Amino acid sequence: AKERSAQPSAHSGTHAAAMSYDRAITVFSPDGHLFQVEYAMEAVKNGTTAVGVRGKGTVVLGVEKKSAAKLQEPRTMRKIMKLDRHVSLAFAGLVADARVLVNKARLECQSYRLTMEDSPTVEYVSRFIAQVQQRFTQRGGRRPFGISNLIAGFDADGTANLYQTDPTGSHTAWKALAIGRNAKSVREFLEENYAEHATAEEKGDVDAPIKLAVKALMEVVESGAKNIEIAYMKPGQPLKTLPADKVAAMCKEIEKQKEADKRKKKTKKTAK
Amino acid sequence: LDSPSCVMDRAFFTDPHSYFGTNPRKELEKQDAELMREISLTSATRFPLLKAPSMTKASAFPKLTDKGGQRYVSEANPAIKFSHGTTTLAFVFKGGVLVSVDSRASMGSYIGSGTVKKVIPIHKYLIGTMAGGAADCSFWERNLAMQCRLHELREGKRISVAAASKLLGNVVFQYRGYGLSMGTMIAGMDEKKGPALFYVDSDGTRLKGNLFSVGSGATYAYGILDNEYDPDMDEKAAVELGKRAIYHATHRDAYSGGTINTFVIRESTGYEQVFKGDMNELHYGQYAEEAAAEAAAEAGDAKVSMDES
């Protein structure tokens, strides 16, 4: 590994310090930043949006599909990947980095099954992915992975899980989360609407988590249904993609609902 | 533990003759004599105040076999594989897992110890037994205990019996051919799946089962176990069966004996030693009484039937 000196440049100041401290991954800046990691987070923000929603009986992963070029074969599930029978992953950021990480995670899942004679918990898988991402921020002089992941699935005992990992190497559990482009506004939408959908699911609306994911994506995806990809998991069942026509139908319904709500608000206003 | 930390000269185990030369006994005697000379020489010249040890003939050192000076019985006669001088058994029953072992350690026909602890606790709900090389068993099972503790810390829950036995089996398999000698049973309670029992040996064999007996006395123990084993036994009957099977094995097998140690692993409370008794005391005590009572009962029956006819 190349040794890079950590000496400040001739004109020291935070800007110049940023110049010399951001080259090597293994070097802290004077104010305690790992710039390469932060730049990796920026790469994530440039990636297409991904949304995850954890319901009680369903966990949903939704992604914004980039519209395919005319001559390109539209392949489904480029951004939602199966790690094991019971765990799936959606990411935001550099696609090629994701492939490397997914391969490692798939190998680890099978290795766990071989050694422990049991399926790994979703928490174990996300911890493993986080550890790999962390290793690339500390050792070897390699750059971090430019992706954040949403890892979703059901454990063998039926508990739903949704975890997020990011380029720093931390992993946290979430009820619902958005990553990638426009993540902030989608997250705000999810915060406002999660409770309502959770109670709807309790009352018997099995598709409530899926609806929430679709609604959240529709907030930021311009062209609507054809650029939304939804996949969901139920306990003991493998990952299932929602077929395109169903997604379109759901989007239409949601739009209708929105219009109806708008009209209600208008009539209320005029009534007053 | 990715690779063995000490690499041994494997030729020693596969072909001891080549290692020793054409006349192994003479070679060993020569070495021993030289060693004794060196010791006495050193102490006389360097430490004049120390008394030199009385010169004992090297051949007075206990020979482990009279087959030409080889020190490992199984190498002396590979056709007779010396199967670990011990008797251990374990079985799964309604109330958990029962483990019963003897306590004799033999080196050939020499009884090294009569009070060996052949049950190695791994954690509260998991124990391992020892048969074969005592050092191999106790070291690797203690190592397994460490791995299980780490697993529990990392994952926040107990390791399953299947996974624990898999860890041991995998490690032992890496040392295959290096001369490890272990025939162990890993017995324990899973939180959800209930009692489990695995047999793991130094060849890398790993078997799941409900009833195992390992050691030179295993055949005698199986005779008793196969006759009376019932998975729906209650704890009292299970303890009695475990005791009796080991007793019979120690009675007939020269390489098993000493005290009988019986353990039960229960779902609620973990493992507990439920019996510890000398096999001779059982022989002249409980079992003698039982035999006498049975004989009396039979005589009584015979008398009754004679009176009737």
**CA distance linking residue B197 with residue B90, whole number of Å:** 8
Residue of A nearest to B160 (CA): A116
Residue of A nearest to B155 (CA): A124
Which of the residue ranges A21-30, A91-100, B46-55, B69-78 would you say has the lowest mean pLDDT?
B69-78
How large is the average pLDDT for residues B33-55? 59
Mutation for B interface: A112, A113, A117, A127, most B CBs within 10 A: A117
> What is the predicted pLDDT for the residue at B62?
42
> What is the predicted pLDDT for the residue at A24?
63
Contacts of A121 in chain B (CB under 8 A): 155
Burial of A42 (0-12, 13-18, 19+ CB in 10 A): exposed
Min CA distance, B162 vs chain A (Å)? Answer: 7
Min CA distance, A148 vs chain B (Å)? Answer: 23
Q: Which of A118, A121, A157 sits opposite B160 (nearest CB)?
A: A118
Q: Tokens in use for B129?
A: 């037994």
How large is the average pLDDT for residues B154-170? 94
Q: Which residue of the set B22, B42, B45, B86 is catalytic?
A: B86
How large is the average pLDDT for residues B45-52? 52
Angle at A148 between CA A143 and CA A153, to 5 degrees: 135
Per-residue model confidence as pLDDT tens digits over B54-75: 444 444 444 433 444 334 444 4
**Average pLDDT for chain B:** 82
pLDDT > 90? residue A3: no
Mutation for A interface: B166, B191, B193, most A CBs within 10 A: B166
pLDDT > 50? residue B3: yes
A interface residues, B as partner, C-beta within 8 Å: 115-118, 121, 124, 157
B86 is catalytic: yes
**CA distance linking residue B225 with residue B219, whole number of Å:** 10
pLDDT > 90? residue A111: yes
> What is the predicted pLDDT for the residue at B66?
40
Q: Is the Cα dihedral B23, B24, B29, B35 positive or negative?
A: positive
Q: Which of A117, A124, A157 sits opposite B162 (nearest CB)?
A: A117
B interface residues, A as partner, C-beta within 8 Å: 155, 159-160, 162-163, 166-167, 170, 192
Burial of B204 (0-12, 13-18, 19+ CB in 10 A): middle
Min CA distance, A246 vs chain B (Å)? Answer: 39
What one-letter code names the amino acid at B84? H
Which of the residue ranges A22-26, A159-163, B175-179, B294-298 would you say has the lowest mean pLDDT?
A22-26
Q: Which of A115, A121, A157 sits opposite B166 (nearest CB)?
A: A115
Per-residue model confidence as pLDDT tens digits over B254-304: 999 999 999 999 999 999 999 999 999 999 998 889 889 999 998 888 877
Contacts of B159 in chain A (CB under 8 A): 116
CA distances from B155 to A124, A128, B160, B180, B244 (A): 8, 12, 12, 31, 40
Q: Characterize the bridge pairing of strands B259-266 and B270-278.
A: antiparallel
Instruction: Count chain A–chain B contacts defined by CB atoms under 8 A.
Output: 19
pLDDT > 90? residue B211: yes
Q: Which of A116, A121, A157 sits opposite B166 (nearest CB)?
A: A116
> What is the predicted pLDDT for the residue at A269?
77
> What is the predicted pLDDT for the residue at B165?
96
pLDDT > 80? residue A37: yes
| Secondary structure of chain B in HEC code, one letter for each residue | CCCCCCCCCCHHHHCHHHHHCCCHHHHHHHHHHHHHHHHHHHHHHHCCCCCCCCCCCHHHCCCCCCCCCCCCHHHHCCCCCCCCCCCEEEEEECCEEEEEECCCEEECCEEEECCCCCEEEEECCEEEECCECHHHHHHHHHHHHHHHHHHHHHHCCCCCHHHHHHHHHHHHHHCCCCCCCEEEEEEEEECCCEEEEEEEECCCCEEECCEEEECCCHHHHHHHHHHHCCCCCCHHHHHHHHHHHHHHHHHHCCCCCCEEEEEEEECCCEEEEEEEEEHHHHHHCHHHHHHHHHHHHHHHHHHHHHHHC
Burial of A50 (0-12, 13-18, 19+ CB in 10 A): buried
Mutation for B interface: A112, A114, A118, most B CBs within 10 A: A118
Confidence of residue B81 (pLDDT cuts 50, 70, 90): very low
CA distances from B94 to A45, B160, B194, B223, B263 (A): 58, 19, 10, 21, 15
